[in-house]
A and B are shown apart, each in its own frame.
Chain A
Amino acid sequence: MTLSLTGRVTGKTMSVISFVALIIFLPLLLLAAYQTATIISRATGKPANIIVDAGSITNEKVDPAFMRAFAQGGEESGNWLAPVQKEVAALKPKWIRIDHIYDFYDIVKKDADGLSFDFSKLDPLIDSISATGATPVISLSYMPPAIARENKVINPPTNWDDWALVVQRTIEHISGPAGKNIPDVYYEVWNEPDHEQFGGWKLSGEKSYLTLYRYADQGAAQAKNTRPFFLGGPATTGLYKNWIIKLVESGMRLDFLSWHSYLDDPRRFTQDQKNIASWLISYPEAVLLPKLITEFGFTGAKDVRYGLPYAGAYTAAVFRELAGANPLALFAFQLKDGPNQEKGDGWGIIGKPRYHVYPFFDRMAGTRLILTGEGTWVSALATKQGATVRVLLVNFDANGNHSETVPLTVTNLPNGTYSYRQDGNTSEVIVSEGLLTKNILMSAQSVFLIELYPVSHR
């Protein structure tokens, strides 16, 4: 006997119900299948077995300076840097990027006599940046309310020449002797122009980024008596070919290319480098332009993982991807949490695990060694500087908490006694057959720096 709770139903009704059930449950089934496939592929991921050839000196130089770049967003105005200046200075920043300069710092005013400029609220922040040892990178954003259509900062100006004058005066102040007189400042036209929140600019039409850039270029050209500076863009939310090519083809002054990268997989940074190199190789005059990734992270949204070792391992994995073929600068977003971060999901670096991974990068400066055996989760980079061999091991699992014991073999070592340093502990090891092998237990989202220095040779 078959239990039927509704009695017989018509065929038409059944078809409707079947269709509705399909609409509801098919996506769930597909999601289940996808997750199952993901689990299976993760479970069959490749463990690492790292082999470093200490005798394989390549022509590739690893210069970690590109990592000493940091950005700060618009969570607070004023001199947000002053309270954390010491912690920021300890990171040895080379560049610090700021945006919102025209809507947070009351720089531009308009009256019957025209435009007037007052940088007194911005100057303390510029001074603090300089005090950390960094050069400011200025995102020329957003539209000063005094000149913006409907006074909205994401709108074009009522008069484009006003925008050109604003840019001119800004450059003259920061890069000129009458103002801060700072050399080699990077001026980035706007911030994330393609984002609806920042104006939803396009590449044509009334809100054309190319128009915005053209008048910024005009202002830069009019800036008098300044130290050398650089003008560039498009500072988009991601690396977009059409934006890059349009800017390159525009014929305007373009000293650097910039974009943001919020990518959950560190390997996509390598792919982006390949992509832009491939796009630009047909533009010989532009292919060597410096590239600045003026914000990066694993997500553009606030996320509690920014306060966990996850963020540190992610950052180290990105460094490994870009070491050697790096942009000029890779700006971590952001230096400090804004106010009211009770949820613990702020982007800030200071006071969190991500902060402590930065000293590892500087130590990796040197000539790259050939290294094989990276796995699905564990990546590695080896360099040699003088007689010291260094290996950076990164265990990053974007989706879980993978841990692994990693065999590490360093070959072609002259026999002798070596100082072996790992995780802050130093010991002596003897190399008698030209190689050294260790098993490194890597907990979830961990980063290890191993240093091998010859104490004596046999």
Chain B
Amino acid sequence: MKKIWLLVVSLLIFGILPALIYLVGQRQELRNKAAPATTLAVTPASLAKKMGDTFTMEVTIDTGENQVVAAELHLTYDPTKLEAQSINNGTLFSNILASGTVEAGAASITVGASNAKEPVKGTGTVAVIRFTALAKTDSPTAVKLASNTFVGGLGEGAVNVLVSTTPATVTITQDPAQSTPTPTPIATISAQTPPPATPSATLVIVSPTSEGAPTVDKPVIRGKAAPGTTVTITIYSTPQTATVTADSSGNWSYTPDTPLESGPHNVVASVTDQNGQTQTATTAFVVASSEKAIGGATESAIPVSGTVETTLLLLLLGSACIVFGLFFPHWSHGTHETHGDH
């Protein structure tokens, strides 16, 4: 029996595989036979950014001779290096057929021409993606269009008129001096201390975090910024503002002078660079209730929800188990029948 199964499986594999290869080839041939083809590219082709930078990239299209009515884009990237904040339509496609969605390592959107009588022809921007550079790259990290990206053209039926895509790369550095792709001077490298575990050129708040446990009423707020920069910290609800200076390693910290009241608070840290651009970082946290707190889950940032149904259900099950145990304590598997000799 086993041999028969093996034979069947082998036949299937060796029969189906060639068929698949043939069909893919046919499809490729079909695509090549279609009207001069449509291409997509992620632009700019290469970027150099610093950790913490927010920047945009675009997906541009060259429709060729096709009359494009819709494009379903799927982008992928390394989620340890980049975080997509948003993906929106470009100027060439005003109609959004499916909202842009972003998740770790992927972004997608489906856009369309305004109507079938006015398909898109030519070149332009299909989508705009906003990224944050998360971590230094050892080698340029790619942002590319996945194989399930599809472009539909009038008169082309179910054929994907997209014939090629061009990815882009992003190089992320940690030191502002190394933000350009030119080689770093040897003297600078030899003088450098080992890079800290957290970025020093970008403004971030390290603690407290919104996922953390409730804090004391004078929590130490810690973060990173470019060394020597002045960081303005404002704590809400009742605003308290202070300024601190990041040390040579880019570390800064602040402890409120006045104890914070229990409940949720929001911290906003900001620095202003030489060009007058403001960089901000925010976090939220909860100060633990004191004994005098009036409580009030309604004012807490910690979600509150629950139901009594599950408790009742478990009680019912527990009761059933007890009753079952009381009534049938001498549970037996019964007699073993002999099956005779084989």
Contacts and interface: CB of A to CB of B under 8 A. Distances in A.
Interface string A409-452: 10110000000000000000000011101110101000000000
Contacts, number: 217
Interface stretch (A81-89, A95-103, A216-224, A393-401): A393-401
B70 A45 contact: no
Interface string B135-179: 000000000000000101111111000000000000000000000
A273 interface: yes
A435 B154 CA distance: 47
Central interface residue in A5, A10, A32, A438, by most chain B CB within 10 Å: A32
A441 B69 contact: no
A12 B328 contact: no
Interface string B282-312: 1110000000000001111111111101100
Contacts of B104: none
A197 interface: no
A435 B55 CA distance: 19
A339 interface: no
B328 A14 contact: yes
B266 interface: yes
Contacts of A435: 268, 270, 278, 280
Nearest to A25: B320
Contact of A370 (B86, B110, B264, B328): B86
B306 A400 contact: yes
B194 interface: no
A15 interface: yes
A6 to B, nearest CB: 6
Contacts of A437: 234, 236, 266, 268, 282
A42 B88 contact: no
Interface string A311-325: 000000000011011
A59 B89 contact: yes
B313 A35 contact: yes
B207 to A, nearest CB: 15
Contact of B334 (A11, A28, A405, A438): A11
Nearest to A283: B158
Contact of B128 (A35, A42, A59): A59
Nearest to B113: A288
Contact of B299 (A42, A270, A441): A441
Interface in B292-342: 297-307, 309-310, 313-314, 316-317, 320, 324, 326-335
Nearest to A326: B96
A278 B278 contact: no
Nearest to A2: B329
B130 interface: yes
Interface in B58-104: 69-70, 72, 85-86, 88-91, 94-99, 101
B210 A9 contact: no
A284 B154 contact: yes
Contacts of B333: 11, 14-15
Contacts of A111: none
B306 A39 contact: yes
Interface string B181-220: 0000000000000000000000000000010000000000
B39 interface: no
Given A49-B284, A59-B89, A277-B98, A434 B110 contact: no
Chain B interface residue count: which class?
Answer: 35 or more
A43 interface: yes
A131 interface: no
Nearest to B161: A284
A21 B97 CA distance: 52
Given A39-B306, A59-B88, A370-B130, A274 B278 contact: no
Interface residues of A, number: 76
B95 A370 contact: no
A321 B154 CA distance: 29
Interface string A1-34: 0111110111110110110010001001101100
A398 to B, nearest CB: 11
B298 A47 contact: no
A403 interface: yes
Given A3-B329, A28-B313, A35-B307, A277 B72 contact: yes
A404 interface: yes
Central interface residue in A25, A278, A284, A411, by most chain B CB within 10 Å: A284
A356 B96 CA distance: 28
Contact of A32 (B268, B310, B326): B310
B305 A401 contact: yes
A9 B329 CA distance: 10
A359 to B, nearest CB: 24
B240 interface: no
A404 B69 contact: no
B97 A325 contact: yes
Contacts of B72: 277-278, 281
Given A59-B90, A284-B70, A285-B116, A21 B266 contact: no
A372 to B, nearest CB: 6
Given A36-B310, A407-B266, A439-B264, A273 B301 contact: no
Contacts of B328: 6, 9, 14, 17
Contact of B110 (A5, A43, A274, A377): A274
A405 B300 CA distance: 6
10 contacts: A14-B328, A28-B313, A28-B317, A59-B90, A277-B98, A281-B150, A285-B69, A288-B70, A405-B300, A409-B280
Interface of A: 2-6, 8-12, 14-15, 17-18, 21, 25, 28-29, 31-32, 35-36, 39, 42-43, 45, 47, 49, 51, 56, 58-61, 270, 273-274, 277-278, 280-285, 287-288, 321-322, 324-325, 368, 370, 372, 376-377, 397, 399-405, 407, 409, 411-412, 433-435, 437-439, 441, 443
Interface of B: 69-70, 72, 85-86, 88-91, 94-99, 101, 110, 112-113, 115-116, 128, 130, 150, 152-158, 210, 232, 234, 236-237, 263-264, 266, 268, 270, 278, 280, 282-284, 297-307, 309-310, 313-314, 316-317, 320, 324, 326-335
Closest 7 CB pairs of A and B: A11-B334, A282-B158, A407-B266, A277-B97, A325-B99, A400-B305, A35-B310
